Amino acid sequence: MVQERNAIRIMTDTTAALPEEYLQERGAGLIHQVIIFGNETFLEEAELSYTQFLDRLRTSPVLPKTAAPPVPEAAAMLEALLREAQTVLCIHPSTDLSGTVRSVETAKANFFPEADIRVLDTRAIGGALGSMVRCAVEWAEAGVSADTIMQRLHSMIPRARTYFLVDTLEFLRRGGRIGGAASLLGNALRIKPILHLTDGRINAYEKVRTRSRALKLLADKVALECPRNGEAHLTLMHADAPESARWMAQALKDSLGLREIPLVELGAAITTHAGPGTLGVSFFAAATGDTEG
């Protein structure tokens, strides 16, 4: 949907796990995480598809690293969006997990200090971040003011719930994103940990001996906590774990009475730190005073 001049534009990055086609259709901007294999660098998706990334990950003698979107790329996207609108809302992952907010704030300060650019640290990543971006896009298209959109997004932050299980903690440890889950490292070879995102940081939720039990426990947890209404924005995520994702999708459809659950691939940057085999679920808890319907 093409918006008129003076409309609000939304910008996000590839950790939101949203299709680029969707963002282009809605007039939203996308900047790319950087994937580094040895001396080679790639912009996520733009220069290295997820399939290509997984192929390289399986055969590379060195594990990849990541970097936040370059400041010049953020500046170029902001410039393009400011040609079409007076206000740009930049919606990005937790600063404890990514330097994206810092890159965007630097681009704003250096190139557009007077522009109405608002940068939000959502304290989220993956599916929850993507849901917040989708909401912002829909609200902007409906004519909601920038102040109100930002207020609504801020209200979503403490309600976000993200639970995920990983095959190994080694990727999180090596990437420096392990956070409070470091307490599990001593037992890492004997458990399948379930982790959760709390105020933008990774923390341990439960340690389980087998993946099948971890999947069942995760499904039960989501079924217990996820509201049965349209405000939950339930999303299922995986990193090269299609079989687990299919099982979880069916389990949650059955328990929550849903026909479909959005399923997204987490992408190269998140897979670099979480590792292949990661499965996650995100949703938003009911706001205070809400009732389930």
For residue 160, list its beta bridge partners: 284
* % of the chain surpassing 90 pLDDT: 76
Report the mean per-residue pLDDT for the chain. Answer: 90
**pLDDT of 94 over the 90 cut:** yes
Rounded percentage of the chain residues whose pLDDT exceeds 70: 89
Question: Whole-angstrom Cα distance, residue 213 to residue 147?
Answer: 44
User: Does the structure show a pLDDT above 50 at 79?
Assistant: yes
pLDDT of residue 183: 46
Q: What is the mean pLDDT of residues 35-46?
A: 97
Task: Please report the pLDDT score of residue 31 as a whole number.
Answer: 98
The string of pLDDT tens digits covering residues 195-215 is 899 899 988 888 888 899 999
Per-residue pLDDT, 292: 47
pLDDT at 73: 98
Instruction: Give me the pLDDT at residue 168, please.
Output: 75
Residue 181: per-residue pLDDT: 46
Burial class (CB in 10 A: 0-12, 13-18, 19+), 224: exposed
Our measurement of the distance from residue 230's CA atom to the centroid of its chain's CA atoms, rounded to an integer in Å, reads 20
Domain architecture of the chain: domains with CATH: 7-157 (3.40.50.10170), 158-284 (3.30.1180.10)
Return the pLDDT at 108: 98
The per-residue pLDDT for 127 is 97
Q: Which residues of 252-268 are buried (b: 16+ CB within 10 A; e: fewer)?
A: beeebeeeebbebbbbb
Integer CA distances (angstroms), 167 to 39, 200, 251, in order: 27, 21, 20
CB-based contact 272:278 (threshold 8 Å): no
Structure confidence at residue 101 (pLDDT): 98
Other CB atoms within a 10 A radius of the CB of residue 198 amount to 16
Contact 287, 231 (CB under 8 A): yes
The string of pLDDT tens digits covering residues 144-200 is: 999 999 999 999 999 999 999 988 777 666 655 545 444 444 455 567 888 899 899
The average pLDDT across 229-234 equals 91
Where residue 219 falls (left for φ over 0; alpha for ψ -120 to 50; beta otherwise) is: alpha
Q: pTM, whole model, 2 decimals? A: 0.91
| pLDDT score, position 229 | 85
pLDDT at 287: 83
Interval 20-38: pLDDT, tens: 999 999 999 999 999 999 9
Please state the rounded mean pLDDT for residues 216-232. 94
Least confident of 43-57, 109-123, 156-170, 252-266: 156-170
Q: How far apart are CA 196 and CA 204, in angstroms?
A: 6
